[in-house]
Amino acid sequence: MTLLNSETNGPTNEQEDSVQDGFKPGAGTVVVTGAASGIGRAIARRLSLAGAPRTVLLDRDGAGAARAAEAIGPHARAMGVDVRDPAAIEAAVTRIEEEDGPISLWCSNAGVHRGQGLGNASDWDASLAVNLHAHLHSARAVLPRMARRGTGHFVITASAAGLLTDPRCAPYSVSKHAAVALAEWLAIAHGDDGVTVACLCPEGVRTAMTAADSAVLGAEVLEPEAVAGSLLEGLAEGRFLILPHTRTAEYERRRAADRDRWIAGMRRARRRAASAAPLYAAG
């Protein structure tokens, strides 16, 4: 059951007044998970350059996060944290707020891409643990604190695959769809608390995760720095859905308008892709 009525068709004056102010980098401590490399490292660097007084980089690869923080400068520091562990996330949040001050922005960015086709049990476990449950652990640790203060910003890095699909990998596509749904639920639940929630959904980005897919991604691949720039622009404007690739919005509209036509088109695209994965993987 959904709670849909005439109010969902467009914002009333009251709803317009409830839109939160955009994020200001100088407002307080910012935290980025999955920050040792790729999009996370770029986001942390961009936030620091934009004036964040303290930037904390979290990653399971603590040494990699430390190198990234050192490259950013003296206002950045690193912590080795496994985002799959809710106790570790809670401990990190407590330590950061005690040592660096209230968290004004939390970017839940860590992600993985595992398996081909339907994948196997370990592919699903890994994908859900990082691409969904890690965001939930962060939300549970961070959002109540922000809500009590009446201010804060929380970002989930999902993927365009979470709005559309990745026909090569079910664990990735399904877990990213779940991440988008979680972000939307959090935005609805916490908007009246003074907390904004945003969902970052890029298509192809030049990172270690996509290195093997460079031929498929082609000219539409973005650098992590461009994605970080799009994120800051979206946060400043108070947008929920942040799409670094401008075509993603049109694709999503086409999918919603005619799902059967969209599925047929994706089947054609899958057949054309030289790296199309088998539907069923061993294991």
- What pLDDT was estimated at residue 2? 52
- Which residue type is seen at 255? R
Q: Chain centroid to CA 257: how far? A: 25
What tokens appear for 175 in the block? Answer: 């877990």
- What pLDDT was estimated at residue 220? 80
- What pLDDT was estimated at residue 7? 53
The label of the residue with tokens 């991604």 reads: 217
CATH of domain 23-206+214-272: 3.40.50.720
Q: Please provide the DSSP assignment of 131-163 as one string.
A: IIIHHHHHHHHHHHHHHHHT-EEEEEE--GGGT
What gap in Å lies between CA 106 and CA 153, rounded to an integer? Answer: 6
Q: Is 262 exposed, middle or buried (0-12, 13-18, 19+ CB in 10 A)?
A: middle
pTM of the model: 0.87
- What pLDDT was estimated at residue 272? 79
Q: What angle do CA 64, 66, 72 make, to 5 degrees?
A: 110
179 close to 166: Cβ distance less than 8 angstroms = no
What gap in Å lies between CA 137 and CA 130, rounded to an integer? Answer: 10
What gap in Å lies between CA 137 and CA 156, rounded to an integer? Answer: 12
Catalytic residue among 162, 172, 179, 241: 172
Instruction: Say whether 280 is catalytic.
Output: no
Q: Please provide the DSSP assignment of 203-245 as one string.
A: S-B-SGGGGGGHHHHGGG-B-HHHHHHHHHHHHHTT-SEE-SS
Could you list the pLDDT tens digit for every one of the 283 residues in the chain?
Answer: 455 554 555 544 444 444 456 898 888 999 999 999 999 999 999 999 999 999 999 999 999 999 999 999 999 999 999 999 999 999 999 999 999 999 999 999 999 999 999 999 999 999 999 999 999 999 999 999 999 999 999 999 999 999 999 998 999 999 999 999 999 999 999 999 999 999 999 998 886 665 555 444 445 889 999 999 999 999 999 999 999 998 999 999 999 999 999 999 999 888 877 554 444 343 3
What tokens appear for 171 in the block? Answer: 């664990």
